[in-house]
Chain A
Amino acid sequence: MQASEIAARSRRRGRTPPTDISDPQYFHKVVDCQWACPTHTPVPEYIRLIAQGRYSAAYMLNWESNVFPGILGRVCDRPCEPACRRGRIQVGDEGNAKDPSKKNAEPVAICRLKRVAADYKGEIDSFLPEIPTQKNGKRVALIGGGPASLAVARDLMPLGYDITLFERDPVPGGLMRTNIPSFRLPASVLDEEVGRILDFGVEARFGAEIRSLKKLLGEGYDAIFVGTGAPKGKDLELPGRKEAAANIHIGIDWLTSVAFGHVEKIGRRVVVIGGGNTAMDCCRTALRLGAESVTVTVRSPRKVMKASDWEIKDALHEGIPILDNHAPKSFVVKDGKLVGMTFEKMVQTGVDAKGRPKLEASGEIVTIDCDDVLMAIGQENAFPWIERDIGMTFNEWGQPAVDRRTFMSSIPGVFFGGDAAWGPENIIWAVSHGHQAAISIDAYCHGRSLVDRPKPGHTLVSQKMGIHEWSYSNNYDPQKRQAVPHATLEASLKNLKLEVELGFDDRIAAREVERCLNCDVQTVFTDNLCIECDACMDICPVDCINFTENDDEADLRQELRVPALNMSQSLYVSGPLKTGRIMAKDEDVCLHCGLCAERCPTGAWDMQKFAYAEAQAASACLSHHNAYLG
């Protein structure tokens, strides 16, 4: 100990109040994956079900939360994975595609395990909610047949609603069908999970574009849900745009044409502009349509590309070069036909206030010869069919104003969700919006308050089975993240529909499940039982636990055995102990190994499973959750 520390000890100290663990959000936050998941899927619980080979139960627990486990188990944006605690504990060997100098953290392969549940499940029809034959007399119109609308339908059908879904396209699924290529998401998976909802008795009208909200409002629906997505791809007005129009395509429209078989080939040399996931899907699709060379160009440096790391890796693996710092300048036209594109190279001059790179034009011009250009530079919402004189408030960006909590627009009874609400997101957010909108629609149709949201269900139950036995696998498995097998490159590039990722088989899955730390099995501390023997502090492999004088949180964090610098993670603080000190636990890298509880002579520590389920409109959809809540 340093003299300065002695001095610090004698100064006046602040105080951090004891943690209120009766607030369900405290322990919910400790379950990093569940907390990060927009629908709060109980990840560790389904991983344990997979470990036990109970695939159907694992599937249903997912289905109740996120509605599309087979789809999401393949293409989810997986915000849970960067949040996963395992990635803070074990950093792998794999380089990051955006910044090869950085090693990738190795979170649990949560998404791929979800797919295992979907691939291996048995018959599940008997677990589905009953749909009442006696309807409740309320009619709801859903505009658009994407995941947002489908989630609303899933939640409201079991309550006896009469639902009509209007979809412009001839088939349901939204962008999941028209834009996510089938080599990532096979049509059969989509058909199964979308069909399950429509089979509840939704009246689906295909090829039925809504052209006037005013007209629909006049049709007497009790509520209307707008789930039309963000259907307009951005364009680039550069010199040569008009002359070369025949060979310049808006990425999302082009992908739709490919999905519907209207486009079956593309030029020999293709340039894809953009650094997001749409660009990755465009370039890989172009390769499968026979392009000999495909080049992706991005205006900014690779490090800040929007696309997911794994999508970039897949594109690179297929041999597609990604040229960063290339700002598009003009389309080169010869004899009325596109022959190339010019770019100006950018250089990074520093970073802005938000830490994003500041770029400057270098003056260096590069020309890339090409026969076709695909533009994948973003999407916008477009609502040409919503009249401006029907009382809908539009915000400063010309978008309908939608309440963040209730999902209702300024017209009572008209709700928004998915990409249509606040711009392009992803499937899991669309589903989350769908659940919330369904709660609001149900409340609205029955004259209840939209603002009083139903509360989540939660329980906390001891997992102790014996002195050293817990009802979960508490042993730490140092194994690295399992890799997913892929179809061969040769076969993949020849077949637009061949799924590239093959998924985990049961043996790989059995290894991966053991990597999960069971973050929902909480360390629960009872301060009046503690005799301050230090046993838990001494055994803890990751130095989470401290017995110390109280202080205000900022100082307390600094004074711990290992300072608690990850501010996104909570400190668990006890009331005063017999010596006047407190117990302070940094939740950041706790392994949930249970050793603290095993070494505690008085049972002051216990390992208790925290089950948490978000409320939904129809509790009939939550039968597995209810069982899990015990």
Chain B
Amino acid sequence: MSYIAKPSAHHPALPRNALGLTRRDYEGSMSTLCAGCGHDSITAAIIEACYEMDLPAHRIAKISGIGCSSKAPTYFLSRSHGFNSVHGRMPSVTTGANMANRDLVYIGVSGDGDTASIGLGQFCHAVRRKLNMTYIVMNNGCYGLTKGQFSATNDKNSPSKKGEANPFDAIDLCQMAIQLGAGFVARSFSGDKRQLLPLIQAAISYKGFAFIDVISPCVTFNNHPASTKSYEYVRMHNMASENKLDYVEPKEEITTDYDEGTSTSVELHDGSHLMLFKVGEGHDPRDSDAAIHTIRTNAAKGTIVTGLLYVNENQQDLHDVLGTDERPLNGIAMSELCPGSKALEAINARLR
């Protein structure tokens, strides 16, 4: 962390979005994470995504658990709603919020410890329920906040900084998410904003459960060359199967620059598109089996597939499934929300 606040001055020619805001208006307070932490880079990508999508900050809720990663929401969107919850409990808090107000954009931030250990059950049920949210795991293969113990996503062949071997196999959160029915599953790398930014934009546009596992090196405890979560390793083994991608906003037209044979367009619920450019073999991101196959075969070779892994363009979200009211609870009159003891008695009478 720094002793000085980030200067209020910004570049005089800094562009403004449709709301008249600059990128700087989407920042939070000064990061207290270690210098070079991947989480800060993801923070910057979230700021950029919200700025570019012209999102009004007060229509966004950012929710997290516990960990360095879960501290990150403090460092973006200082004008949004926020809830820094309990370890592993981000999904249930988000579920509650989302049920109460379906009109907000939900950005959940968690860590690999927060999600794959203590919060694994919570994670599974948020996926299964198809909660309309963007779930970002800042994945560094360790518990950064508590001094770098192995997390459940640390690869078996990836030793600790001091050289200790990791005796357990890793949990692959993307495979789990696909199996549990997530509609949008992607993996990315904090050091590759060109890929990460459009993925975050698409995930926010996606209506349903959108999951992004972002490999995010912990410079302090897990960035040694032998670590499979280090900058160096990820850069050398990143098989970006859909490396080049592009987010096209609803108002923009898709131009013919996109080459038919090598590109796929994924339409998102708000009319925006994610354009995918295949390099090498690739797989059809609409085919969940193929997605899991690609992840597994690459992992066996020690390579990491990043990009959009799986998408179901027709997923229904939890509100659709439950057939809830179109309106957020705060838009429903008290008399309707709480019809009173007479109504309760009538219900009870029906059950007797």
**Chain A contacts for B176, CB-based, 8 A:** none
Stretch at the interface among A44-52, A470-478, A495-503: A470-478
**Chain A contacts for B257, CB-based, 8 A:** 3-4, 6-7
Chain A nearest CB from B244 CB (Å) reads 7
Asked if B231 and A531 make an inter-chain contact with CB atoms under 8 angstroms apart, the answer reads yes
Stretch at the interface among A144-152, A272-280, A315-323, A596-604: A596-604
Asked if A542 and B44 make an inter-chain contact with CB atoms under 8 angstroms apart, the answer reads no
**Chain A contacts for B7, CB-based, 8 A:** 475-476, 478, 541-542, 591, 593, 595
Which partner residue on chain A sits nearest B201 by CB separation?
A1
Which partner residue on chain A sits nearest B230 by CB separation?
A531
**Chain A contacts for B255, CB-based, 8 A:** 3-4
Q: Mark B116-136, 1 if CB is under 8 A from A, else 0.
A: 000000000000000000000
Of the residues A3, A535, A563, A589, contact of B35 by C-beta under 8 Å: A535
Query: Does B247 sit at the interface, judged by CB under 8 A?
Result: yes
Asked if A3 and B191 make an inter-chain contact with CB atoms under 8 angstroms apart, the answer reads no
Q: Which chain B residues in 8-23 approach chain A with CB under 8 Å?
A: 8-15, 23
Which partner residue on chain B sits nearest A535 by CB separation?
B36
Asked if A595 and B9 make an inter-chain contact with CB atoms under 8 angstroms apart, the answer reads no
- Alpha-carbon distance between A362 and B252 when the two chains are bound, in angstroms: 53
Of the residues B13, B24, B35, B248, contact of A599 by C-beta under 8 Å: B35
Q: Mark A556-597, 1 if CB is under 8 A from B, else 0.
A: 000000110100000000000011000000000101010100
Query: Does A169 sit at the interface, judged by CB under 8 A?
Result: no
- Alpha-carbon distance between A539 and B8 when the two chains are bound, in angstroms: 12
Which partner residue on chain A sits nearest B8 by CB separation?
A478
**Chain A contacts for B5, CB-based, 8 A:** 475
Query: Does A399 sit at the interface, judged by CB under 8 A?
Result: no
Say whether, besides A476-B7, A532-B191, A533-B217, A599 and B36 are in contact (CB < 8 Å).
yes
Query: Does B91 sit at the interface, judged by CB under 8 A?
Result: no
Asked if A541 and B9 make an inter-chain contact with CB atoms under 8 angstroms apart, the answer reads yes
Q: Which of B3, B7, B246, B248 has the most CB of A within 10 A?
A: B7
Q: Mark B220-261, 1 if CB is under 8 A from A, else 0.
A: 000000000001100100000000101110001011011000
Asked if B246 and A6 make an inter-chain contact with CB atoms under 8 angstroms apart, the answer reads yes
**Chain B contacts for A474, CB-based, 8 A:** 4
Asked if B235 and A476 make an inter-chain contact with CB atoms under 8 angstroms apart, the answer reads no
Q: Which of B8, B10, B37, B254 has the most CB of A within 10 A?
A: B10
Asked if A595 and B36 make an inter-chain contact with CB atoms under 8 angstroms apart, the answer reads no
Main secondary structure of the interface of B (DSSP, over half): loop
Asked if B191 and A533 make an inter-chain contact with CB atoms under 8 angstroms apart, the answer reads yes
Of the residues B11, B34, B191, contact of A534 by C-beta under 8 Å: B191
Query: Does A359 sit at the interface, judged by CB under 8 A?
Result: no
**Chain B contacts for A468, CB-based, 8 A:** 1-4
Asked if A533 and B246 make an inter-chain contact with CB atoms under 8 angstroms apart, the answer reads no
Chain B nearest CB from A546 CB (Å) reads 11
Query: Does B113 sit at the interface, judged by CB under 8 A?
Result: no
**Chain B contacts for A1, CB-based, 8 A:** 194, 198, 246-247
Query: Does A334 sit at the interface, judged by CB under 8 A?
Result: no
Chain A nearest CB from B231 CB (Å) reads 5
Which partner residue on chain A sits nearest B256 by CB separation?
A3
Asked if A533 and B9 make an inter-chain contact with CB atoms under 8 angstroms apart, the answer reads no
Query: Does B65 sit at the interface, judged by CB under 8 A?
Result: no
Q: Which chain B residues in 154-174 approach chain A with CB under 8 Å?
A: none
Say whether, besides A88-B12, A468-B3, A476-B8, A3 and B246 are in contact (CB < 8 Å).
yes
Say whether, besides A543-B14, A591-B9, A535 and B41 are in contact (CB < 8 Å).
yes
Asked if A600 and B8 make an inter-chain contact with CB atoms under 8 angstroms apart, the answer reads no
- Alpha-carbon distance between A320 and B12 when the two chains are bound, in angstroms: 36
- Alpha-carbon distance between A478 and B8 when the two chains are bound, in angstroms: 7
Chain B nearest CB from A374 CB (Å) reads 41
Query: Does B283 sit at the interface, judged by CB under 8 A?
Result: no
**Chain B contacts for A543, CB-based, 8 A:** 10-11, 14, 23
Query: Does B290 sit at the interface, judged by CB under 8 A?
Result: no
Asked if A578 and B247 make an inter-chain contact with CB atoms under 8 angstroms apart, the answer reads no
Query: Does B69 sit at the interface, judged by CB under 8 A?
Result: no
**Chain A contacts for B38, CB-based, 8 A:** 533
Chain A nearest CB from B106 CB (Å) reads 23
Q: Which of B5, B13, B217, B258 has the most CB of A within 10 A?
A: B13
Q: Which of A3, A474, A579 has the most CB of B within 10 A?
A: A3
- Alpha-carbon distance between A2 and B254 when the two chains are bound, in angstroms: 9
Asked if B13 and A562 make an inter-chain contact with CB atoms under 8 angstroms apart, the answer reads yes
Chain A nearest CB from B287 CB (Å) reads 25
Query: Does B53 sit at the interface, judged by CB under 8 A?
Result: no
Which partner residue on chain B sits nearest A595 by CB separation?
B2
Query: Does B40 sit at the interface, judged by CB under 8 A?
Result: yes
Of the residues B12, B191, B254, contact of A89 by C-beta under 8 Å: B12
- Alpha-carbon distance between A238 and B183 when the two chains are bound, in angstroms: 88
- Alpha-carbon distance between A531 and B37 when the two chains are bound, in angstroms: 11
Asked if A600 and B11 make an inter-chain contact with CB atoms under 8 angstroms apart, the answer reads no
Asked if B6 and A539 make an inter-chain contact with CB atoms under 8 angstroms apart, the answer reads yes
Q: Which chain B residues in 43-92 approach chain A with CB under 8 Å?
A: 43-44
Query: Does B266 sit at the interface, judged by CB under 8 A?
Result: no
- Alpha-carbon distance between A600 and B38 when the two chains are bound, in angstroms: 12
**Chain A contacts for B4, CB-based, 8 A:** 468, 474-476, 593, 595
Query: Does B193 sit at the interface, judged by CB under 8 A?
Result: yes
**Chain A contacts for B24, CB-based, 8 A:** 541
Chain A nearest CB from B264 CB (Å) reads 14
Asked if B40 and A538 make an inter-chain contact with CB atoms under 8 angstroms apart, the answer reads yes
Say whether, besides A543-B11, A600-B36, A538 and B41 are in contact (CB < 8 Å).
yes
Query: Does A90 sit at the interface, judged by CB under 8 A?
Result: yes
Asked if B231 and A542 make an inter-chain contact with CB atoms under 8 angstroms apart, the answer reads no
Asked if A476 and B9 make an inter-chain contact with CB atoms under 8 angstroms apart, the answer reads yes
- Alpha-carbon distance between A6 and B248 when the two chains are bound, in angstroms: 12
Query: Does A94 sit at the interface, judged by CB under 8 A?
Result: no
Chain A nearest CB from B275 CB (Å) reads 8
**Chain A contacts for B43, CB-based, 8 A:** 538
- Alpha-carbon distance between A475 and B30 when the two chains are bound, in angstroms: 14
Q: Mark A1-32, 1 if CB is under 8 A from B, else 0.
A: 11110110000000000000000000000000
Q: Which chain A residues in 300-348 approach chain B with CB under 8 Å?
A: none
- Alpha-carbon distance between A601 and B37 when the two chains are bound, in angstroms: 8
**Mind listing 27 A-B residue pairs with CB under 8 Å?**
A1-B198, A3-B248, A3-B254, A3-B255, A4-B257, A474-B4, A475-B7, A531-B232, A532-B235, A533-B191, A533-B231, A534-B40, A534-B190, A534-B193, A535-B36, A535-B40, A538-B44, A542-B7, A543-B11, A543-B14, A562-B14, A563-B13, A593-B7, A595-B7, A599-B36, A600-B35, A601-B36
Which of B's residues lie within 8 Å of A, judged by CB? Answer: 1-15, 23-24, 31, 34-38, 40-41, 43-44, 190-191, 193-194, 198, 217, 219, 231-232, 235, 244, 246-248, 252, 254-255, 257-258
Other A-B contacts than A468-B1, A535-B41, 20 sampled, CB-CB below 8 A, are A1-B194, A1-B247, A4-B257, A6-B244, A6-B257, A91-B12, A474-B4, A475-B7, A476-B8, A533-B37, A533-B219, A535-B40, A539-B6, A539-B31, A542-B9, A562-B15, A579-B235, A591-B9, A599-B35, A601-B219
